[in-house]
Structure 1
Amino acid sequence: MTTTSTTPTTTSTTTTTTTTTTAHLAVVTLQLTIQEVFVPALSNPQSTEFQTLAVSFTSVCDVIYRAKYGIFFIRTIVISFIPVFRSRMAADTQVVLEVVFNETAIATNANATMPKDIDIKDTLKEAVTNPNSAFNLSVVPNSITIIRVPNTSTSATTITTATPVITTVVPAAPTTTSVVTNTLTTVSVEFTSKGETFISDLSTSSSQAFQTRASLIKTQLEPFYRSAFASFNSLTVIKFRNGSIINTMNVAFSSSAVPNSKEIGTVLIKAAQNITAFNINPTSVTVSGEVVTSSGISSKTSLFTASCLVVLSLLLSS
């Protein structure tokens, strides 16, 4: 009799366990002006004009900062281009730039410290004023300023290791996704630029004159509203009308915390004292049809009421 013996076979399944290590980044934000004619396309980060100028700028800045700070420097990022007007119709380009450092690498090196803000600014200033520098853009040296101190953010570096484990299939639990919708409320705001000349191109939203002025108003006024209201979302210029120039814009807020007309108008009136790129007549500010005065008291005057006041004034004078 022949006996057959079977040897049990053991199957081992190897899976990959992924270990994620988190590195902290320190970000310093600079602002500076370059003598490059601003065009409306530079307001759009997706445009060819934006991306071409951004690459030209960051490629040189990366070389400058890597030579200075070595492995502690990661990269520079252009956040936005903004028009800076030399006159009513001509604008240079302001650059908002982030300089990113590896805070984790600095912290783990006993001989390293985070570069000081003034050193980061001066490094760029020295490079643009050095005639032997590779910097080929006309930066205005005294325009380089720090607008935000190092701010910690997080990115992840993934290290993969393989560990033998027995594969167990567990049915996935149902996943519930919650979507939170942040609704916005838009408020109409209008003001007059007294003494400025209205041109026909300002009636067409696709014209360069319209886009340049709209971009100017947006970039100048948004910081005031963002500083005043945590619920502020955005500002959009809608149209321009003759007389001298009447500017109409929509200001959007989170619907859960919309300021009243008096508060919204008061921000614009106060901004008039600090803005020189265009004129804001403080007595012309209206919010949702309400006239907001410099004292902050809002009133609504209808056409019928105004007509009655004129008639009454004529009767009294006669």
Structure 2
Amino acid sequence: MESVVKEPFQEELRNRESPEFKALAKKVVSIFEFIFRKRFGEFFLRIIVLRFSPASPARARRQARTTVDTEAEVEAVFNRSASVQELPQASEVTEVVRQDVANTSITSQFNISLDASSITVTKDINTTANATTPAAPTPVANATTPVATNATTPVATNATTPVANATTPVATNATTAAATTPATTTEALIVKRLSFKTDETFTSDLLDTSSTAFTDRATLLKTQLEPFYKAAFTAFRFLTAQSFSNGSIVNNVALSFGGSAPNASAVGEVLVNAASNITAFKIDTSSITVDGTSVSSGVSHKISLLTASLLVVLSWILSNQQ
């Protein structure tokens, strides 16, 4: 997806590690994740900024401006476990995003101005649903150009004798391009929705996904919880904080798994077991739900059975000693 940001382009924006790139990317990610999460709910995962580049100089001339705006190319990652019918189509995404970007009450929240008419979806949503390697499709498409050129030109101009030789550079160039082009990752991601309460004071800025409080808390949950899930499940990929609400703090996160995912009980049990090892906040283990189903009670029930079994064994040993 492409969009023009109404901010002058700087050469530093070409460098992903520059402070200018990171600052603008943060604003772009915040507003688009807000829009996509509101519009597409559980099917949406995240936004990735692929690159910034200068907008068309013709645009600046039309607006009688001496500076050139910044064009942002981003990727919207959707959950491939959804069916093709459930995923939004390119035309639908273009329309709803344009509507929200034109709403100044939304853009003002994120301190960014976008040109609604410039919003274009460059690929079908179904084909990019879980692509996790940025910009891979571009070099792959370009790789076909030298193959076609080298294959047809020598054959046409050098008659029939060089035909056999003409196939050699075609194969060689094709192989080289394929070898040097990053492979597109199309792993299907299965998402588990995890919710739990912590004994902290809720503040209203946690409702704003672009706020420092939201970003800091999202990072905290990621650093505190991801190691436990990585250790427990080889299929675990990453954790994404989606929202926070009052009570003291209700934390709603998405756990993404590749290939296969554990059941709700197993996901909840990892958090129950990890609770005593986490000192940054205190988890209310009775509040844990996975995909809307309470799992903490099932874990507690297993513990109770184990405790009861031990007590029976202990009682039997003591009675035999008397």
**TM-score exceeds 0.5:** no
Give the number of the structure whose residues are more often strand, by fraction. 1
Bigger RCO (CA 8 Å, 6+ sep): 1
- Scaled to the shorter chain, the TM-score interval is 0.3 to 0.5
TM-score, normalised by the number of residues in structure 1: 0.39
Give the number of the structure whose residues are more often helix, by fraction. 2
Decide which structure has the larger Cα Rg and report it: 1
TM-score, normalised by the number of residues in structure 2: 0.38
